[in-house]
Amino acid sequence: MAARYIFVCGGVMSGIGKGTATASIGLILKSKGFSVEPMKIDPYLNIDAGTMNPLEHGEVFVTRDGIETDQDIGIYERFLDQELERKNYLTSGQVYWSVLNKERNFEFGGKCVEIIPHVTNEIISRIKELGKKADFVLVEIGGTVGEYQNLLFLEAARQMKLENPKRVIFILVSYLPIPEMLGEMKTKPTQTAARLLNEAGIQPNFILARSKTLLDEPRKRKISLFCNIKPENVISAPDIEFLYEIPLNFERESLGNKILKELGMKPRKTDLKEWETLIKRIKSSKKELKIGVCGKYFKIGKFILIDSYISVIEAIKHACWYFKRKPEIQWLDAEEYEKHPRNVRELENFAGIIVPGGFGSRGVEGKIRAIEFCRKNKIPYLGLCLGMQLAIIEFARNVCGLRGANSTEFNQKTKYPVIDVMPEQKVLLKEKKYGGTMRLGDYKCQIKKGTKSYLAYKQEIVFERHRHRYELNNEFRGILEKRGMVMAGINPERDLVEIIELKDHPFFVATQFHPEFKSRPLRPHPLFREFIRACLKRSKNL
């Protein structure tokens, strides 16, 4: 057990930025020269996040080795600039699956298989596996303390602390509400959350106090006293405009060295210079650039949820900041363009349009209208996965004259199935094997010289992440190319089209993969960067 283990739990309520806090701590430790492996634990029974509706659970992120995860893995990748894998993501489903398989294989040698120790041991061994190659393992336990679902994970963590008290610490990320009728910050829910952890046999070493404003001294003292925590380990984490500033805020309270101290280690210098420059750049990016995202996973009742497209949004921001621009992202509801086709004209007012990934036929015709408008009116367009498939359908229908061309995902009987499933996918669908069976993770893509994509990447071979079942049907490649569509990126192993472009257009590029997963705040993705460059040009004339 050479590594140190930091467990991050959440108190009071979900959605208070536990993932960002975990990622920020990881960044701070990394900047001190340590190696870090983060792990996200989701207590639900799903094996992965792939089968969940983005409206319920937010975006499904994909790692290079092809596991479909919660969006927190994306947050870690962006902060740590580190590519994560299957081993960094754990769910109750995976844990039970593995224990039950071992039982069937007689690996417990005739013993009665029990939740404790067999299930907890499985969790512990997964966590320790990560520790084999890192100085620090940061484990974020999803959900909120007190929930029935995450108790087992807390129990596993407690046992790890018992085994090696000097190498394990706990951080509670909690929330301090300021009820409007009182106008005062309340600490009681946080006290209760700390007690719930105590009930599970865990004493937090730190409390990160999320709130609207900074914590004042009396409240720090109160939390310290009632939650049994050193006053200097109660860290204020107020709401801020830019998430990427959180590590700097934590360092203002020397969180990094305080963590080292708790683990009996010597303090070390933090080097966040690049990060500081980034924040300065973000803050000085004042001039707005209006980008439209035409999708369908953002409306739930009266609320707009942006979680479903979080990596796309972040990738837009990274690219805009690169040009010192402030992105003004607007949500364009594709179904509106079906009900009111003329409304598509509003796209004139945008510097550029993105159609992101999606599943199922809802909103598809509206998106196709939007794409047609961008093509005809020379509005910069970036299509992501479904956004590429729909650009091909639009081109097949309106330029190649293939009336009724479609994807077999939306119309199985179409005369022109320009987008279709691969034979092996057909079998999987027939057998209803939906989970984890799409074309997932990194695939090689060969870029054609002289294309816009080549200008962006400046490289002939790239690896990009996929998550889809359908592909451009090669039978139609000839006619599409003849009418001017450029097949700018090809997967050499299977001869699949991965990027399409249009000539005679300032920027019309669409990818079968999801470039957004590989964009970083300090290194915007080349295709997003070039898309934004084209948007900037257009915005000068708007």
The footprint of ligand GLN (CB under 6 A) covers 357-359, 385-386, 409, 467-470
Mark 6-19 as b/e (b = at least 16 C-beta within 10 Å).
bbbbbbbeeebbbb
> Which CB, 10 or 387, lies closer to ligand GLN?
387
**204 or 358: whose CB is closer to ligand GLN?**
358
Q: Counting Cβ atoms within 10 Å, is residue 335 exposed (0-12), middle (13-18) or buried (19+)?
A: middle
Minimum distance, C-beta of residue 385 to ligand GLN, in the bound complex (Å): 3
The one catalytic residue in 385, 400, 445, 535 is: 385
For residue 319, what is the enclosing H or E element?
helix 310-322
Which is nearer to ligand GLN, 202 or 509 (by Cβ)? 509
CA distance 216 to 11: 20
Rounded least distance, CB 56 to ligand GLN, Å? 17
Determine the Cα–Cα distance for residues 271 and 419; give it in Å rounded to an integer. Answer: 49
Say how far apart CA 536 and CA 325 lie, in whole Å: 9
Backbone angles phi, psi at 49, to 5 degrees: -90, 0
Closer Cβ to ligand GLN, 217 or 431, answer by number: 431
514 is catalytic: yes
**Catalytic pick among 68, 514, 530, 535:** 514
Closer residue to ligand GLN (CB): 39 or 386: 386
CB of 388 to ligand GLN, least distance (A): 8
When the beta carbons of 209 and 393 are compared against ligand GLN, the nearer one is 393
Q: Which residues contact 19 (CB under 8 A, 6 or more apart)?
A: 40, 71, 72, 75, 76, 140
How far is it, in rounded angstroms, from Cα 456 to Cα 63? Answer: 23
| Residue nearest ligand GLN by beta-carbon distance | 357
Question: Which is nearest to 162 in space by CA: 200, 122, 118, 206?
Answer: 200
Question: Tokens at residue 416, please?
Answer: 């022109």
Cβ at position 148, least distance to ligand GLN in Å: 33
Handedness of CA 48, 468, 78, 297 (dihedral sign): negative
Q: In whole angstroms, how close is the CB of 114 to ligand GLN at the nearest point?
A: 41
**Known catalytic residue at 400:** no
Among this protein's residues, is 516 annotated catalytic? yes
Tell the smallest beta-carbon distance from residue 60 to ligand GLN (Å): 9
Which listed residue (294, 516, 525, 530) is catalytic? Answer: 516
Q: Yes or no: say if 497 and 422 are a contact pair by the CB < 8 Å rule.
A: no
Q: Which residues are catalytic?
A: 385, 514, 516
